[in-house]
Amino acid sequence: LEHVEKVFNLYGPSEDTTYSTYVQVTKGATSEPTIGRPLSNTQAYILDANLQPVPLGLPGELYLGGEGLARGYLNRPELTAERFLSNPFHADPHARMYSTGDLVRYLPDGQIEYLGRIDHQVKIRGYRIELGELEAVLRTHPAVKEAVVMAREDQLGDKRLAAYVTTKEENREEATDFAVWAKAKLPEFMVPSVFVWLEAMPLTPNGKIDRKQLPEPEWGQMASTQE
């Protein structure tokens, strides 16, 4: 028989026995894989700050339920109570769900897309901003391949938002008015002060975006390019 290899992208925290969702990676795929769908006997919920399900396509925090949940953290009852909550979506009144702290969203095909950490929050001019949610909005532009937003200090020491963006080769010409597009899509306080276009994102040895290696932006320009 012909030897067939299958590659799966598996997601999950230790609090849910390591693996919670999965997706088979298509051979030759050029885009980053999603985290797929829940494993058997695992439930996944994408909820807002009020623990209500979010609409399709909008970001929310991922909560996990099912047979794989741990009992809690050893000798840490307060943290256990904070992260392991009663599951209002399950028929069993004793069922629980785990707050992962991960920002995700449902795609139209039902797969789950990982967006970042909920705790990537910054405070800019009195407004608290969730960077993962902002990055998710920027990635909806047809020319954008990857988007990373950071809070950085300008020449005067004021904290401002800088967006680092890579483009899809086939749609690169559509990026011309990206700053204008962002202003129309976002509240004023969430619009980055500068957009830095990169040929590629710097990566860590394990293939994740290395935020520490992103270049210092040119604050005098609304949009700039870094080769």
Give pLDDT tens digits for 64-79.
999 999 999 999 999 9
- Give the separation between CA 118 and CA 60, rounded to whole angstroms: 8
The residue from 63, 88, 113 where one domain ends is 113
The residue from 83, 113, 143 where one domain ends is 113
CB neighbours of 107 closer than 8 A, spacing ≥ 6?
34, 57, 113
Average pLDDT over residues 106-122: 84
- Give the separation between CA 132 and CA 189, rounded to whole angstroms: 15
Q: Which structural domain, as residue segments, surrounds residue 39?
A: 8-113
Q: Note the pLDDT of residue 221.
A: 54
Closest to 192 (Cα-Cα) out of 208, 181, 203, 176: 181
- Give the separation between CA 111 and CA 73, rounded to whole angstroms: 30
pTM, to two decimals: 0.59
**CATH at residue 209:** 3.30.300.30
Closest to 132 (Cα-Cα) out of 76, 61, 82: 61
Residue 27 has pLDDT above 90, yes or no: no
Q: Note the pLDDT of residue 18.
A: 82
pLDDT-derived band at 120 (thresholds 50, 70, 90) equals: low
- Give the separation between CA 179 and CA 169, rounded to whole angstroms: 18
Closest to 130 (Cα-Cα) out of 108, 102, 107: 102
Pair (105, 17) in one structural domain: yes
Q: Is residue 188 part of a domain?
A: yes
Q: How many domains does the chain have?
A: 2
Pair (157, 189) in one structural domain: yes
